[in-house]
Structure 1
Amino acid sequence: MKNTYLKLEITDRVALVTIDRPEKKNALSPEVLAEVEAVFTALDADPDVHVVVFTGGEHFFSAGFDLNFIRTIEKNSNEDFTALFHRAYRAVLFCGQPVIAAVGGPAIAGGFDLTMMCDIRYASERAKFGQREIALSLTPILDPLWRIIGLGRAKEVALTGRIYGAAEAEQMGYVSRVFPEGKLVASVMAIAKSMAAYDRQCLRETKELSNALLNQDLGGAMKTQEWLFRTYIGAPDNHRRIDALLESLRKKASSPD
């Protein structure tokens, strides 16, 4: 499928998905959202992709929904668009591979929501985050936001509509790390390529585990983790990777300082 608004590059088992609508600050039109759904659905089934990086480039992630389009929607005919953007969100959230957001600039409203669907978020110093839906008499997405930063902070983000800088987003735990301006995508791709060297199925099941545990009590969570661990320990790939690590440690120990 040929994409108009999303660029897709796959190197070293990492898929780099870039929103490419710069003249509109990567605003989310129905066409953009349809491509997000299609691309992430296809990546989920791609055996050659271990990790996905989702970005809008070094200048912005997405300014949010295309307001010129939103203004044309009537209350009695909003079902198709509402279903579309939730399908796009779910395609990112439930993509089997880990999805890393690389946020180079503003990620506002619908753009913020897309970063929320990712497993890890990195930002550049110029990134900004905010749920502005409340200012437009729209209800925002609170789940999975509260799972990421806690319910109290999620309420503040949703109810104030405030814009947060990258440093504050990192402080609240929404962003894992902030990189210098212009260095974001290359830095995140390096992290992703390191992750992509791991077993694909183990990455997928670790992501699935992290989501499943939220709905279990502590005893059930411990049993789930024990069962999943048992499916990997002692397997051929586990042995191979242990052998490689032990060999590297032996070489390091025998080499002169």
Structure 2
Amino acid sequence: MAGVKQARDGAVGILTLDEPASLNAMTPDLLGALAAALAEMTTNEDVRALILTGAERGFCSGQNLKASEALGEDIAAGVMRFYWPAFKALRECRVPVVVAVNGVAAGGGFSLAMAGDMIVAARSASFIQVFSRIALVPDLGSTWLLPRLVGRQRALELMLLNEPLTAERAQEIGLVRKVVDDAKLMEEALTLARRLADGPTRALVATRAGRGERACDLRGAVPPRDRAPGHDPQERGRHRRPQCLHREAQGDVYRAVRCGAAPQSRHARACPGHPRLHIRIRKRGWPGQARP
């Protein structure tokens, strides 16, 4: 397939971005080929793990500016149309994905590396966000994934200051699992991928999904926090002020009960409108129940 090479090593599928003249810079054609290759490779039930890497000197140097016109006037819409399907396929892949980073991973290439499950890096590898240099907000998952991998402070340093990150430093801060000599990169990636392929594939993928790292979370928006009933912003607007939450004593156990409308906390606070009720719960117990 043009732009992406496919290979097999037993139960491990290997996908290689193959545009070395541009250091595998992203274009609609390249990312479209990657999405198609991912779909083709994972339909084979014998494939139980994947490796994603880049050809020759680089992993992925980010957006190919010569092809930026293909995204259209609305760059964000173009990115979602042409690039997002490949990232979504990686995050929803039915098998674990090992990313073998050789050379530079810049901008969207940095995001692409993080879209896999584990990163193995060559000693010559480097990572740089680069977005703010061209007056862009990091996209394709960087604002979601990077803080969760290295912490908020380091993520902001990388995104705001655009300082390049060496492979060794990337390993120190938790972005990369292991750094090896360039000649041993694929050997190490295959060792890890084979280990994952020998494991319980469904359980491994379910573990990834259980951490809440769904593909829809990568669009840049942080998913809403789980809210107690009544804490939806639209519902909250129906009340002039937040409602309180009482505790109902049942034997030695307190059970949260709603007072009026939306509860505000699982810990009861004195409610100006019902002070006696709270005192009764706290000191005497609920009517008809044992004293807590």
Q: Per the shorter chain, which TM-score range?
A: 0.7 to 0.9
Where does the alignment leave 5 or more consecutive residues of structure 2 unmatched?
218-222, 227-292
In 2, distance between residues paired with 1:175 and 1:57? 19
* TM alignment of 1:188-199, pairs within 5 A: 188-199=189-200
Taking structure 1 as reference, are residues 209 and 180 closer, same or farther at Cα in structure 2, changes over 3 Å only? Answer: same
State the secondary structure of the residue aligned to 1:211: coil
* TM alignment of 1:13-52, pairs within 5 A: 13-52=11-50
| Alignment-derived partner of residue 2 in structure 2 | 4
State the secondary structure of the residue aligned to 2:189: helix
| Alignment-derived partner of residue 60 in structure 2 | 62
| Alignment-derived partner of residue 250 in structure 1 | none
Q: Under a length normalisation based on structure 2, what TM-score does the superposition of the two structures give? A: 0.68
In 2, distance between residues paired with 1:93 and 1:56? 18
| Alignment-derived partner of residue 83 in structure 1 | 81
Greater CA deviation, 195-204 or 138-147?
195-204
Q: Is 1:114 aligned with 2:112?
A: yes
| Alignment-derived partner of residue 236 in structure 1 | none
**Larger relative contact order (CA 8 Å, sep ≥ 6):** 1
RMSD between aligned residues: 2.3
Alignment size in residue pairs? 215
Q: Is 1:123 aligned with 2:148?
A: no
Q: Given that residues 124 and 178 in structure 1 are in contact (C-alpha distance below 8 angstroms), is that contact kept between their aligned partners in structure 2?
A: yes
Q: Under a length normalisation based on structure 1, what TM-score does the superposition of the two structures give? A: 0.77
Deviation (angstroms), 1:145: 1.4
Q: Given that residues 58 and 181 in structure 1 are in contact (C-alpha distance below 8 angstroms), is that contact kept between their aligned partners in structure 2?
A: no
Q: Once the two structures are aligned, what percentage of the paired residues are identical?
A: 27
State the secondary structure of the residue aligned to 1:75: coil
> Which structure shows the higher helix fraction?
1
Q: Given that residues 57 and 185 in structure 1 are in contact (C-alpha distance below 8 angstroms), is that contact kept between their aligned partners in structure 2?
A: no
State the secondary structure of the residue aligned to 1:155: helix
Q: Given that residues 43 and 95 in structure 1 are in contact (C-alpha distance below 8 angstroms), is that contact kept between their aligned partners in structure 2?
A: no
Where does the alignment leave 5 or more consecutive residues of structure 1 unmatched?
218-257
| Alignment-derived partner of residue 134 in structure 2 | 136
* TM alignment of 1:202-217, pairs within 5 A: 202-211=203-212
Larger Rg: 2
State the secondary structure of the residue aligned to 1:55: strand
What amino acid is aligned across from residue 13 of structure 2 in structure 1? A
